[in-house]
Amino acid sequence: MIRKKCINMNVGNMYPLLAAMLTARPWDDIVDERLDSLSTKKGANQDAKIAGYVEQYASHIADILNRVPREMLLLFKTNDCLRHADRMLGTPINTFIITGRVCVRELAAERRRRFPGLRSFFAGLWRWLSLEVRMSLFQLAAACARRPAAVTSAVAS
């Protein structure tokens, strides 16, 4: 899925690097099957590791940023700023979820302006509902990953 979406953004086989850029995590953490692999706190060792990757792959990073659609650059920067604000404030707010909801709402509004009519309205409504279900499942999975194993197994039974 990650590969397919990255290829759609004109990144080609550099999808592991784009995914690492977006999550600020090494590729091995991204493909880790444990639900909490991306939600655990990063340590100083991992920050140094990522800084090393940035230095090593700087030309590839620049190439990726030149290939992706311009609108994606704005989203990447927004993602970076929000992740930094969350980290500095230590807040549990999931800005990814909030940003996703606002983006879908605005895309639906733009579609309604460009293609007025009932069909456009229902297409936008379907996309919005689909996103809400996905975001809710994402939040549930993240909440389950943060729970201790004993609590998770008690909830499952």
- pLDDT the model gives residue 136: 78
Rounded to whole angstroms, the Cα distance separating 97 from 121 reads 23
**What is the structure's pLDDT at 145?**
64
pTM for the structure as a whole: 0.52
* Angle subtended by helix axes 95-114 and 70-89, to nearest 10: 150
Give the model's pLDDT for residue 82. Answer: 80
pLDDT of residue 151: 45
Look-up of token digits 């604000």: 85
Q: What pLDDT is recorded for position 46?
A: 72
Return averaged pLDDT per consecutive 10 residues of the chain, 157 residues in all.
Answer: 79 82 73 54 69 84 87 81 79 70 80 81 81 77 60 46
Ranges of H-type helices in the chain: 2-8, 15-23, 27-30, 44-56, 58-67, 70-89, 95-114, 118-146, 149-156
